[in-house]
Structure 1
């Protein structure tokens, strides 16, 4: 992945930190890292298709409204063994960058529209002990470089 960042001349900032498994655990670390922080949902729709949806860390995604926004059937959370076999990562390390391990067409990756246009979003580098900061447009470029056709969508959120 770092080789691809270099080959595509994509600038990024790298941060090492203690392992974090949830958005809540990452809040202290996030405060010291500039940019938009993210969380990722690994989902399976009622038709059997897998989805990786990246949203702002604070977003409470409306899972009932999500299928209409991204063009799929009713969704539920994907199982860890499917995540590991399709993306090569385990829960806690989920990142759109894991699509480097996914066969094109095996998982549809979705990036929230606000993140896609952000100057800097923060994602895991395939492990939960680090954070990479890069532009949303550069995340999309990487996904396309790896043979994926990312979806950019306004992700519906629940009102708090």
Structure 2
């Protein structure tokens, strides 16, 4: 059981774990999850880590169907500029490996921004903390568990 699953279980929220066989050659971890689970890429969200111009980190959760809008994230975070965090830094800070980074149960709690598009969904899917493992839960539950904020941070690819 991953730290993310433990966090959801401890909170007593309803959730569902979905597992699939991860293909090491997959080009997109989120796209692979959506395809393997037969889900729309609008329902599967990727967890990304970004760094502000002053070195502060933030977590961004956006649909697999699009990309992270770094300018919009900077505005939501209250800084001038954001860039993607280096994979090694994201892994060290979250406690997860890239492709399996969950917004739940991270080693270090960071400000978390969830794309506002999730508010219209009954259930969203995010990594449960391991490649090939997703957790399905209500968007409001994810927001509460991460102490996150809604923000329009995703854009079409």
| TM-score > 0.5 by shorter chain | yes
Flag structure 1 segments of 5+ consecutive residues without an equivalent.
144-148
Report matched runs for 1:70-109 at 5 Å.
Answer: 70-99=77-106, 101-102=107-108, 104=109, 107-109=110-112
Match of 1:152 in 2: 150
1:124 pairs with 124, 127, 133, which one? 127
How many Å apart are 1:10 and its aligned residue? 0.7
| Residues 135 and 77 (structure 1), Cα distance of their counterparts in 2 relative to 1, 3 Å cut | same
| Residues 7 and 35 (structure 1), Cα distance of their counterparts in 2 relative to 1, 3 Å cut | farther
Match of 1:53 in 2: 60
8 A contact 1:35–1:133 mirrored in 2: no
- Specify the SS of the correspondent of 1:89: coil
How many Å apart are 1:14 and its aligned residue? 1.1
Name the one with the larger strand percent. Answer: 2
Return the TM-score normalized by structure 2.
0.80
C-alpha distance in 2 between matches for 1:124 and 1:62? 20
1:68 pairs with 58, 63, 75, which one? 75
C-alpha distance in 2 between matches for 1:84 and 1:8? 24
Match of 1:16 in 2: 19
8 A contact 2:46–2:127 mirrored in 1: no
8 A contact 1:69–1:156 mirrored in 2: no
- Specify the SS of the correspondent of 1:67: helix
8 A contact 1:35–1:120 mirrored in 2: no
How many Å apart are 1:92 and its aligned residue? 0.9
Match of 1:114 in 2: 117
8 A contact 2:74–2:82 mirrored in 1: yes
Task: Give the count of matched residue pairs.
Answer: 150
How many Å apart are 1:40 and its aligned residue? 2.2
- Specify the SS of the correspondent of 2:67: coil
